């Protein structure tokens, strides 16, 4: 089986619509055109034919159910309603849905005595696949609480957008509370620095990320959304680990800032430390900046 078989199948299907070129599709998926054409010209195996048939069923079922089926529901409906030669599991369904860019949008409504708030929830598309093959393929984000004041009596929230390619922090922001406006501001800084990119963006299901305003902002940037499952912080493990290192190796090693201005300065210096000075073992002893710059210089971008 080809390593990127499902991605190649997606390129083949989408390029046939004449809406996208093979070059655009392979670059967006981080795969080489040479490898794609090698796959295209191979003799199809029985598995190749099955994957093609399954991909068609996934797209058809998604349209039939108005893109409301998650991976479990998709597997259940396909196994019951399709004429595939064998049953399929959730793992394969997840890979096919990702490769075919089949998205799920679930909008629940939360009621309270004052007003009705729309909550936008997404599937865990990232599925703990924390590696990326090029910059700006996968971003993760989260908020954490930090303290300041003469006695540490005040608190603020820091948000960061982290590129999973090398762990480079693209943007950060400090706000009084965790709000959708603060989340949008952080991502706006990331997009301003990176230009016209369309990464997979993974967050938890905090109110800042499930709000209507944040959802509309993401739609305008044409990105694929992903969210951790409820009560499952490990679904965003890389971001959690980054926060742990940020506090242990930086914040805890400096005196507590007494003013918000001092806090902003300390947090910015900490982000710079982890971007330009700290050398994670997983980066082959390169800083996140060096690791990312190697890919950019070689032209290997998403």
pLDDT, one tens digit per residue, over 118-163 is 678 889 999 999 999 999 999 999 999 999 999 999 999 999 999 9
Q: Does the pLDDT value for residue 94 go beyond 70? A: yes
Distance between CA atoms of residues 67 and 59, nearest Å: 9
Closest CA to 28 of 57, 52, 2, 4: 4
Which CATH number is associated with domain 128-297? 3.30.420.10
- Please check the confidence at residue 249 and state whether its pLDDT lies above 50: yes
Average pLDDT over residues 65-76: 83
Which of 65-79, 186-200, 239-253 bottoms out in mean pLDDT, i.e. has the lowest? 65-79
| pLDDT confidence tier of residue 117, bands split at 50, 70 and 90 | low
* Prediction pTM value: 0.62
Q: Which residues contact 216 (CB under 8 A, 6 or more apart)?
A: none
Helix axes 260-276, 237-249, angle to 10 degrees: 110
- The burial of 199, by beta-carbon neighbours within 10 Å (0-12 exposed, 13-18 middle, 19 or more buried), is given as buried
Per-residue pLDDT at 109 exceeds 60? no
Q: What pLDDT band is residue 301 in, cutting at 50, 70 and 90? A: very low
Domain range summary for the chain, segments of one domain joined by +: 5-106, 128-297
Across the range 206-214, mean pLDDT stands at 92
| pLDDT value, residue 63 | 85
């Amino acid at each position: 089986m080809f390593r990127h078989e499902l991605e190649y199948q997606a390129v083949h299907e989408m390029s046939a619509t004449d809406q996208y070129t093979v070059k655009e599709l392979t670059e967006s998926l981080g795969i080489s055109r040479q490898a794609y054409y090698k796959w295209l010209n191979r003799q199809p195996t029985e598995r190749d034919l099955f994957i093609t048939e399954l991909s068609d069923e996934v797209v058809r079922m998604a349209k039939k159910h108005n893109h409301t089926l998650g991976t479990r529901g998709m597997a259940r409906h396909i196994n019951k309603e399709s004429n595939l030669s064998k049953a399929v599991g959730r793992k394969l369904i997840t890979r096919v849905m990702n490769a075919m860019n089949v998205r799920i949008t679930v909008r629940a409504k939360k009621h309270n005595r004052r007003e009705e708030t729309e909550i936008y929830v997404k599937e865990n598309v990232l599925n703990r696949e924390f590696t990326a093959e090029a910059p700006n393929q996968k971003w993760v984000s989260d908020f954490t609480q930090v303290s300041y004041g003469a006695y540490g009596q005040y608190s603020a929230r820091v948000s960061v957008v982290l590129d999973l390619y090398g762990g480079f922090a693209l943007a950060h922001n400090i706000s009084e509370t965790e709000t959708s406006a603060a989340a949008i501001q952080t991502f706006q800084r990331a997009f301003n620095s990176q230009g016209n990119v369309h990464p997979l963006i993974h967050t938890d299901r905090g109110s800042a990320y499930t709000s209507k305003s944040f959802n509309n902002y993401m739609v305008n940037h044409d990105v694929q959304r992903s969210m951790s499952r409820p009560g499952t912080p490990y679904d965003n493990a890389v971001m959690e680990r980054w926060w742990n290192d940020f506090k242990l190796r930086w914040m805890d090693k400096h005196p507590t800032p007494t003013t918000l201005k001092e806090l902003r300065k300390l947090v910015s210096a900490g982000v710079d430390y982890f971007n330009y000075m700290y050398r994670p073992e997983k980066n082959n002893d390169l800083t996140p900046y060096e690791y990312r710059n190697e890919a950019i210089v070689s032209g290997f971008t998403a």
